[in-house]
């Protein structure tokens, strides 16, 4: 009888149970559990598959996109509101000079309501010239005032507009 080295030398006696598989190096039996090699691996159609249905997945994605869009809209709205507030705070008031002192000028605002008094210093540019010379600001003239950043009471620059200007309603 020819034996090949790959052939299983374990003899099976009819009517007796098959011997347990053993580890080749240790000779110990390997526990294979109660696995039936002919058992089906197909899931039972009556049991849930454990996955998410396509309908639930599509609805979840749409709801997530909707929430993200609403959040983006709200954030954009708030950013735009703040930008407008900042712009309004930095508007250069246009108005008519009502009073002039050596260190201040009072302007009746046309671009906003009321009057505002601005502090003038040697650094204030009036009509294109530095030095804070208030002689170029006669009462009744129309001016545009650029105030210091963060301090609306300090004039950085005062531009005297021509007499026939349409700015400021004069």
Query: Please, what is the end-to-end C-alpha distance for the chain in angstroms?
Result: 125
- Tell me the longest C-alpha to C-alpha distance in the chain: 130
In terms of pLDDT, which residue wins out, 47 or 94? 94
Q: Ranked by mean pLDDT, which of 12-16, 26-30, 35-39, 70-74 comes out on top?
A: 70-74
The reported pLDDT for the residue numbered 36 is: 62
Residue 136: strand, helix, or coil: helix
Q: Per residue in 39-77, pLDDT tens?
A: 555 655 655 566 788 999 999 999 999 999 999 999 999
Which residue in 101, 97, 89 sits closest to 142, CA to CA?
97
- Whole-model pTM? 0.46
The reported pLDDT for the residue numbered 170 is: 45
The reported pLDDT for the residue numbered 45 is: 60
Q: Per residue in 107-160, pLDDT tens?
A: 998 867 788 899 988 888 888 666 667 888 888 888 888 887 766 688 888 888
């Amino acid at each position: 009888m020819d034996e090949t080295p790959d052939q299983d030398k374990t003899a099976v006696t009819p009517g007796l149970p098959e011997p347990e598989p053993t580890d080749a190096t240790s000779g110990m039996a390997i526990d294979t559990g109660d696995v039936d090699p002919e058992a089906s691996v197909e899931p039972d159609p009556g049991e849930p598959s454990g996955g998410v249905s396509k309908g639930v997945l599509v609805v979840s994605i749409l709801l997530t996109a909707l929430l993200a869009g609403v959040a983006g809209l709200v954030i954009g709205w708030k950013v735009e509101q703040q930008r407008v507030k900042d712009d309004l705070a930095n508007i250069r008031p246009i108005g008519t000079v009502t009073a002039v002192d050596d260190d201040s000028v009072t302007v009746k605002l046309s671009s906003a309501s009321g009057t505002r008094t601005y502090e003038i210093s040697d650094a204030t540019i009036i009509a294109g010239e530095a030095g804070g010379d208030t002689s170029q600001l006669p009462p009744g003239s129309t001016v545009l005032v650029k105030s210091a950043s963060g301090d609306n009471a300090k004039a950085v620059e005062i531009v005297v507009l021509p007499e026939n200007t349409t700015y400021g309603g004069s």
